[in-house]
Amino acid sequence: MTVSERAVVDTQIWEYAWVEEDRAPATVHREAAAFLTPFLDASDKVLCVTAYQAAEIMDVLRKAGLDADARGELLDLLQTQCLCLDLTTDAVFECVEMSLRSGIHVYDYLVAVPLRGLIDVIYSADRHFVQDPQFEAIAPVVNPMTWEMQEGQPPRPAGS
């Protein structure tokens, strides 16, 4: 098998693909699922996650009310279909330093920085990934959605 793309998909896309929430339009759920599902099914693409992001995805979905059986299925998917990397102490401290410089919370850095040199693209609807050029230095940042996120706010149309 030839791999055409190694990518990280930010947590919000995972969240909205798996849970249809009252705080977001149903179209957000359908669009996220329509992006993520074929990506997971593609034999030439590899989804990469850090151990931190795997835990973050599971906790976000728990808080969103996804039942334990569905979360168990997702955990199995993360373990069997994704390339999961451990966090090193050096990577954590680098992420904290980047966060201190940018003012962006450390969690976004923990999703992407440890995958530097491994991934070809960062898929994210989070404005932080576009605001800080340090993410673009890791891999091109692409928003595959017609909506975007800003911390603490519901999804909204991209560019608004």
Across 118-135, b (16+ Cβ under 10 Å) vs e yields: ebebbbbbbbbbeebebb
pTM assigned to the model: 0.92
pLDDT of residue 1: 59
Query: Is domain 6-141 given the CATH code 3.40.50.1010 in the classification?
Result: yes
pLDDT of residue 22: 65
Strand pairing category for 45-50 and 147-148: unpaired
Nearest to 57 by CA among 79, 25, 35: 79
Domain ranges of the chain: 6-141
pLDDT of residue 152: 74
The amino acid at residue 140 is: P
User: If phi over 0 gives left and psi between -120 and 50 gives alpha, with beta otherwise, what is residue 36?
Assistant: alpha
The tens place of each residue's pLDDT in the chain, 160 residues long, gives 578 899 999 999 999 898 876 666 778 888 999 999 998 888 899 999 999 999 999 999 999 889 999 999 999 999 988 999 999 999 999 999 999 999 999 999 999 999 999 999 999 999 888 888 999 999 999 999 999 888 777 888 887 7
Q: Return the SS3 of 8.
A: strand
pLDDT of residue 40: 87
Residue 91: phi and psi, rounded to 5, are -65, -40
Q: Return the SS3 of 50.
A: strand
Task: Tell the residue number behind the tokens 């800003």, with chain if given.
Answer: 150
H-only helix segments in the chain: 11-18, 26-41, 51-63, 68-81, 89-102, 106-112, 127-131, 133-138
